[in-house]
Structure 1
Amino acid sequence: MSGAIQRSPLTLALCAALLMGCSHTSERPSKAISNMPTLALVDNVCALCHGLTGESVSPMIPKLAGQQKDYLKAQLMQFKAHSRMDKAATEYMWGFTHLTDTQIAELADYFAAQPPMQAPAQTSDARGELIFRRGVPAAGIAQCSACHGAQGQGQGQTPRVAGQHAAYMVSQLNVFQQADLRQRGDLSSEIAHTLSDADADAESVAQYMARLGRAPSTP
């Protein structure tokens, strides 16, 4: 796909405008995004950070490969509506103001259809597995598997966490501690995520989720 789509100077300018955020760009280039074919958006915009198939390299940029379609659609709608106020959303994603509903649906379909996120090869974290599957009742921490599934696969608007970057998940746990960074009614904000990015247990469970879903090694 990448070889078939040429990055013209105009397209690259539009990509730069989108990635810089609306506060630093004019309305004209941002509006032109709505005329880009969805596969061109993937190739020329999304792939710059998330990778062509959604397998991002940076530990702070979420993987999108095999993510739940409804979750992806909901997040893109929030970026479009500027209802996500966390730093990453305001600095990098506000250029999605002019995405059309069709583009949003097609982007969600595209990344959801990719092979599920690849998990690293390290040994699973025993403490993280305990928290993921049983929680920490004494501290009011519910088991992650209750919402994200026994294999971290997610469902509907509950995201897949299996194979996701651990560093990214730890940063999101910190976002969930600050209610003003998510729109009212966001399911993730309504659940008591009592682990923070300064908590050793947060690191443990994030490391465990990052290693979930790894295919068995072949002899």
Structure 2
Amino acid sequence: MATNITFHPGNVSYDERAELLSQRGATIWLTGLSASGKSTIATALEQHLLHQHKAAFRLDGDNIRFGLNKDLGFSPKDREENIRRISEVALLFASSTTLTITSFISPYKADRDFAREIHKKQDLPFIEVFVDASLEECERRDPKGLYKKAKAGEIKEFTGISAPYEAPENAEIHIDADKTSVEDSVKIITEYLISKGYLTVA
């Protein structure tokens, strides 16, 4: 770890930035099994927020592994580092007053708790959204054919098959993805943001 570094605060406080941009930041953290619908909901939510003229940005699990996290695999240690990095990136985006949407399996409770804690320390909202699709439904969808490959032993340490998923126990939002449409999921999240004062609409 580097020791000869110094944190340099900016001249613009978070409150001043929020007032100037007429928006406050938050991280909306979607978690769930592969093929649960996280990315589809996140994409639709981002589009909806942008149409409301809000600064919103989506950080997708697969996309991040093409760049920032392309050096990481899927071992427990790499999964932990994957989520640690994206937690810090999400925090930076939220600090800029952006409504930040993350879509990651993030299977371990401790890693999601880390993301929550660093947001809490900076008094920034962290909204955990459990996209709760049954394993059977995820296998039925299986758009990438990953479950079939995992069951055939072609993919090691695959969440839900050969690696654990620790489901959230107290997520701010719980979406029954087996029964809830993408449009209704976006509505549920949006209504929560409005009810907490994290989002204002004209």
* TM, length-normalised to structure 1: 0.27
Structure with a larger share of its residues in strand:
2
Structure with a larger share of its residues in helix:
1
Larger RCO (CA within 8 A; separation ≥ 6): 2
* TM, length-normalised to structure 2: 0.28
